[in-house]
Structure 1
Amino acid sequence: MAVYTDVSDAEAGALMRALGLGELTALRGIEGGIENTNYFATTDQGEWVLTLFERLNHAQLPFYLHLMKHLAQHGVPVPEPQAKADGAPVAAGEDDILHTVCGKPAAVVNRLRGKSELQPGAAHCAAVGDMLARAHLAARDYPLRQPNLRGLTWWNETVPVVLPHLDDAQSALIRTELAYQNHIAAGSAYAALPRGAIHADLFRDNVMFEGTREQPVLSGFFDFYFAGVDTWLFDLAVALNDWAVDLPSGRADTARTRAMLAAYTAVRPLTDAERRLLPAMLRAGALRFWISRLWDFHLPREASMLKPHDPTHFERVLRARVADPLLP
């Protein structure tokens, strides 16, 4: 992720000791992303990731961190937030897995093994589909609730902000699609969609693999800080829009799409309403990330390692989903 806040070795080392994770031996900022400050932290006991939250406050973070803890304890390979030792002081706004560094809320999780696969094949997509379905089922009894903060309400608020940066064709597309998504969300079929805690940002760079390209082993999901309660179908659509599209054109890749859908539905079959609305949710997922990338690109924040994503990619994905809908 981008680095907005510089953390000293002394500050990071003090937190590692407080968590019983050993003595800090190395600290390195992580490049990429746009939301939080992240560092790789190495201690004499292992490898960790230190995150400082730049937009979310202490009151907002328990949903995300305890969701990760819940999934990890239910066998889903996700980074597990590290807890303070029994009896350790807990400052105002903190809890056992929510800490404070440089005056900002922070968390420390174990560093996942493996590496991201930025050119996935069908086997990678199948592994993601399988584990995403397992994660949805594992979170059914997760007790905390928080809406998807980058959902329809945010789209309606943010489109007027980015419109001045669009040409006439782009403006027409984004206005038309937003109206369509408001119409879909008001329908009875949408109300019937199963829902729960979702990842909402399961892109290629948020999954780790070990094994070989022919036989990949999914070693973990990470970056849950866009998670919220929303439809499971939207989460699946977001994943399909990244894992199963041709990046230069934005068009769907048939083999990878089939692999992910088959693996997902083998664990959790889609309902009739989900099958009917899958084309609409694929469009919704493309719209969501087109809007957020426009916002980040045209209204950026300062960061020492910030590289905003190209917003036109998801414009292409949206146009492709409208022109060639995936039939249920």
Structure 2
Amino acid sequence: MAVFTEVSRDEATALLRRLGLGTLTDMAGITGGIENTNYFVSTERDGQRHDYVLTLFERLSFEQLPFYLYLMKHLAAKGIPVPAPAADDRGEILHRVQGKPAAVVDRLRGHSELAPDASHCAQVGAMLARMHLAGQDYERVQPNLRGLAWWNETVPVVLPHVSAEQANLLRSELAYQNHLAQTPAYEALPRGPIHADLFRDNVMFDGGQLSGFFDFYFAGCDTFLFDIAVCLNDWCIDWASGCADAQREQALLNTYEGVRPLTAAERQLLPAMKRAAALRFWISRLWDWYLPREASMLKPHDPTHFERVLRARIQAL
């Protein structure tokens, strides 16, 4: 989350009133993240304060966005704690600000837990499994736009910016993942809508209890195992080394399986999917680091972190 497009108070006021959300009282750009323009906005309605997040989508198109927004609406209706998009009097949840697609969603209570323990990981595992099951009857379909096809397109773009050793690792791991994707075991993996970016800063806790998942704008239809691997690579590692933290990892997997047991194919390919998830975020961070976009408050993430995670996952085999 950053600010690529400056939104005036008048523009925000007009949108919030059109959505029946009250009168704008506070508005502040959100730092962190690198994809969309985000603002915290607060309103007064019926004598009470209400808090929301206003997002302008900088890369996703009007045609792509209904998948994400209606997925959030679908999951919220199933009891999964995710931000519900606000609709206008015609029921539309995708809006327009400065010619760009925009949405306003509820702001979840609580805060992100950036130093999680086994208890936090256990709560994430159980809710992730509930989310996967709740999304199985979601009718819209859209591929994971940061999946294997995107990796194949983007690696050649970042190769000129890395060392020879790093380039060799990128090429070899990409070749491994392309081969893996053609195997019967991979084809047997259960699939459906996934979050695909469920890092610690995309989960909220309130009083030690998980209060919601948010930022679904990398979601897509892919393997549930990839979603699990993304979580394990962020929630359950030693930050300095990139190596797995066995206690936190087992806590997340145990509670996940308490809701949705893994299949034999998933158990077989979990180590490979951890590598895939590390590769995906190493590539995207290289891309954002060396080919950045201009934005107020833009803070690209250090790509070397996921290089360490990938090397640790390979060495653990």
Q: Structure 1 length normalisation: TM-score? A: 0.95
Q: CA deviation at 1:26?
A: 1.0
Q: What is the number of equivalent residue pairs in this alignment?
A: 313
Match of 1:298 in 2: 290
Q: How does 1:256-295 map to 2 (within 5 A)?
A: 256-295=248-287
| Residue-by-residue CA offset, 1:184-213 (whole Å, 9 max, x unaligned) | 0000000000000000000000000012xx
Q: CA deviation at 1:41?
A: 0.5
Q: How does 1:109-258 map to 2 (within 5 A)?
A: 109-211=105-207, 216-258=208-250
| Residue-by-residue CA offset, 1:277-300 (whole Å, 9 max, x unaligned) | 000000000000000000000000
Q: Aligned partners of 1:4 and 1:168: how far apart in 2?
A: 33
Q: CA deviation at 1:245?
A: 0.6
Q: CA deviation at 1:166?
A: 1.0
Secondary structure, aligned partner of 2:42: strand
Q: Structure 2 length normalisation: TM-score? A: 0.98
Which residue type is aligned with residue 136 of structure 1? H
Q: Aligned partners of 2:231 and 2:254: how far apart in 1?
A: 14
Which residue type is aligned with residue 225 of structure 2? L
Q: Aligned partners of 1:98 and 1:136: how far apart in 2?
A: 24
Match of 2:32 in 1: 32
Match of 1:89 in 2: none
Which residue type is aligned with residue 165 of structure 1? H
Q: Aligned partners of 1:125 and 1:283: how far apart in 2?
A: 20
Q: Aligned partners of 1:102 and 1:246: how far apart in 2?
A: 43
Q: Aligned partners of 1:131 and 1:115: how far apart in 2?
A: 17
Match of 2:76 in 1: 72
Q: CA deviation at 1:62?
A: 0.1
Q: CA deviation at 1:102?
A: 1.1
Q: Which runs of 5+ in 2 are unaligned?
A: none
Q: How does 1:33-48 map to 2 (within 5 A)?
A: 33-45=33-45, 46-48=50-52
Compute the RMSD of aligned alpha carbons: 0.7
Structure 1 runs of 4+ with >2 Å offset: none
Q: Aligned partners of 2:145 and 2:107: how far apart in 1?
A: 26
Q: Which runs of 5+ in 1 are unaligned?
A: 87-94
Identity across aligned pairs (percent)?
A: 70
Match of 1:92 in 2: none
Q: CA deviation at 1:304?
A: 0.7
Secondary structure, aligned partner of 1:64: helix
Which residue type is aligned with residue 165 of structure 2? A
Match of 1:84 among 65, 88, 97: 88
Which residue type is aligned with residue 307 of structure 2? E
| Residue-by-residue CA offset, 1:81-124 (whole Å, 9 max, x unaligned) | 000024xxxxxxxx710000111100000110000000000000
Match of 1:62 among 63, 66, 74: 66
